[in-house]
Chain A
Amino acid sequence: MLRFVLMRVGHAAVVLVLVATVVFFLDRVTGNPVQVLLPPDATTADAQQLSQALGLNQPLILQYLHFMGGLAHLNLGQSLYYRSDVLSIILQRLPATAELAAGALIFALVLAVPAGIVAAVRRGSMADTMLMSLVLLGQCAPAFYIGILLIWVFSILIPVLPSSGIGGLSHLILPAITLGSYSLAVIARILRTQLIEVFGEDYIRTARAKGLSSMRVIMLHALRNASLPVVTVVGLEIGSLLGGAILTETVFAWPGLGQLTVQAIDNRDYPLVQGIVLLFVTTFLVVNLLVDLLYGVIDPRVRLS
């Protein structure tokens, strides 16, 4: 088990270093930030001076080593646009995105689990078809369009919820639904498939034969055994939640990391873009590492092998 954990941590570390390298060079080939930062009437001398001040005139390899060295100390550098520490800018925006992502995940799970169970128990029924069709619609509609439709219906036609900004539960509802609907669809579908498979197992027949109530059979015997792939999917969904946050935050003017990302890319703010990407990737890797470890808790057989 320890060997497995160490190996996974090692893999994650390799991926992180690779991503940092790719991001560094990607940012360097994508345009000169000096041109964006300076007013249009600036002279070449001004540009050179700014390059020097920002360390952009050093050889690329030195910039790279400097960057990686900084990373080792959690130093992500200075934002070119905001002229302050990247890490502190990110940390300032993080709570808003965390709130949004948590809201979305809660919304997704609270609806996906019952939907998956009902669809699996009554498979082939009207309820199954209806639920799965709805779920498929959630999977096919792009987040930004769902967001706009929700604003149209719940902020304009029936003005009950705010259409933008942050603050309190009422502001969270629409963005959370927008961001969560894709995860909801994915989770409900996989849970349904897994449950249907598990229902065919001998131990479920045994549990039924013992005279346990359907509720007990589903909750205690089926759900736990069906949950392994579901947990994997939830882990992988973190990635699409982070990606989706970029769009959702743009639609709802939600002052989180997604909005910051769009601005940073617009401003050619290399260090800030690097910092955000690294944060997204690290979050994804850590969550999936935890998911791997969770396997052992859910299914003791994984621990032994």
Chain B
Amino acid sequence: MMTVTARVQALRPRGARRSAARRKLLARVIAVFLGALVVVAIFAPWIAPYPADAQNLALTFRPPVGFSHAAAGHLLGTDQLGQDILSQMIYGTRLTLLVGVTATAVAGVIGLVIGLIAGYYGGIRDQVLMRLADMQLAFPGILLAMVLVAVIGPSVLFLIIVLGTTGWVSYARVVRAEVLTLRQKEFVTAARGIGVPNLTIIRRHMIPNVMAPLATIATLQVASMIIVAASLSYLGLGVPPSDPSWGAMIQEGQLYLRTAWWVGVFPGLALVLTTLAINLAGDLLRDIADPKAYLR
């Protein structure tokens, strides 16, 4: 008699058992990386070797340690104002995570509400909301954000609101689809049969059941929010220029690419690693939520 685990393992294709161990390792690496990122963001002033606004015009464009003319104490070199690249990157972590996570939360709440209304009540409300979703989808998201942000001017709070209100569609669609299936389930019919009010059904039976798929999308969306926010600050929009941001550093780096590659390349690397880790975490979450995908 095989145990359930053994049977599931036997079902897996060749190489999958090895990959299960790899997955565990990967999950740990990602958790450590993301945890470290959060710590760096919170404790930036204590971790960064230099303050966010420290300039030193005597030490401009020094290469990273290990290259000739490197300045001691500037591990990743300095930029055109003699600012320490590593310190700027550490402070940039704050903005990156803050915008990514809060914008995702705003989008998630809006998407959850819209998806619940469209899916649960259906009819004309569903039609109107889904046309709204089509519209939002047809709009290149970054274009809408660019127009809005350009008008209001640089503000972190506003950037979060704009990204949040332009990113709700994927949540709404998933929630709606889940709710449509849930509505047919017996426990929902039963609840209706005994006269439970709609809002209570939504609160007790719908919301807890849509949380798992929502969490998966939210994780993946944190990464795309970070990319959009960085893209906007690359274009010089969104974040006040005084706040260190990876996007703005990369933009500056492009200007000095020929003579000082480190100015832009390192912040970009941080950006890629962060979104990569978040994406991988999202994939792992989905595997847990949907074991069928895991068996592939």
Instruction: Please report A residues at the B interface, Cβ cutoff 8 Å.
Output: 11, 14-15, 18-19, 22, 26-27, 29-31, 123-125, 136-137, 139-145, 148-149, 151-152, 156, 193, 196, 236, 239-240, 242-243, 246-247, 250-251, 261-262, 265-266, 273, 276-277, 280-281, 284-285
Contact = CB atoms under 8 A, between A and B. Distances in A.
B234 interface: yes
Contacts of A15: 131, 134-135, 138
A156 B257 contact: yes
Given A30-B150, A139-B279, A145-B271, A19 B139 contact: yes
A252 B135 CA distance: 30
Contact of B140 (A18, A143, A239): A239
A107 to B, nearest CB: 20
A193 B231 CA distance: 29
23 contacts: A11-B131, A14-B131, A26-B148, A30-B151, A123-B13, A124-B16, A141-B272, A142-B268, A142-B271, A142-B272, A144-B231, A145-B272, A148-B254, A152-B257, A236-B137, A239-B137, A239-B140, A243-B142, A243-B143, A261-B146, A273-B147, A277-B139, A281-B138
A246 B142 contact: yes
Given A19-B139, A240-B140, 14 more contacts: A15-B134, A15-B135, A18-B135, A30-B152, A140-B275, A142-B234, A142-B271, A142-B272, A143-B231, A145-B272, A148-B265, A156-B258, A243-B140, A281-B138
A139 B275 CA distance: 9
Contacts of B142: 243, 246-247
B143 A246 contact: yes
A280 B19 contact: no
Interface residues of B, number: 45
B124 to A, nearest CB: 14
Nearest to A273: B147
A271 to B, nearest CB: 13
Nearest to B264: A148
Nearest to B273: A140
Contacts of B235: 246-247, 250, 262
Interface in B236-281: 250-251, 253-254, 257-258, 261, 264-265, 268, 271-272, 275-276, 279-280
Given A15-B131, A139-B279, A280-B143, A247 B234 contact: yes
A124 B14 contact: yes
A111 B82 CA distance: 42
Contacts, number: 127
10 closest A-B pairs by CB:
A30-B151, A124-B15, A243-B140, A145-B268, A140-B275, A140-B276, A243-B142, A265-B150, A142-B227, A141-B272
A65 B296 CA distance: 55
B97 interface: no
B138 A284 contact: yes
Contacts of B280: 136
A26 B140 contact: no
B296 A193 contact: yes
Given A149-B268, A247-B235, A142 B230 contact: yes
B141 interface: yes
B261 A152 contact: yes
Nearest to A241: B140
Contacts of B16: 124
B107 interface: no
B135 A140 contact: no
A140 B283 CA distance: 13
Interface in B109-161: 131-132, 134-135, 137-143, 146-148, 150-152
Contacts of B206: none
A240 to B, nearest CB: 7
Contacts of B106: none
B272 A140 contact: yes
Given A124-B13, A137-B276, A26 B147 contact: yes
Nearest to B137: A239
Nearest to A129: B19
Nearest to A193: B296
A148 B131 contact: no
Contact of B147 (A27, A136, A247): A27
Contacts of A149: 265, 268
B231 A142 contact: yes
Contacts of B147: 26-27, 30, 265, 273, 277
A140 B281 CA distance: 13
B276 A277 contact: no
A251 B254 contact: yes
Contact of B141 (A145, A243, A273): A243
A242 B131 contact: no
Interface string B215-243: 00000000100010011001100000000
Nearest to A250: B235
Contact of A239 (B138, B231, B275): B138
A148 B250 contact: yes
Contacts of B272: 137, 140-142, 145
B251 to A, nearest CB: 8
Contacts of B257: 148, 151-152, 156
A248 B82 CA distance: 29
A27 B265 CA distance: 36
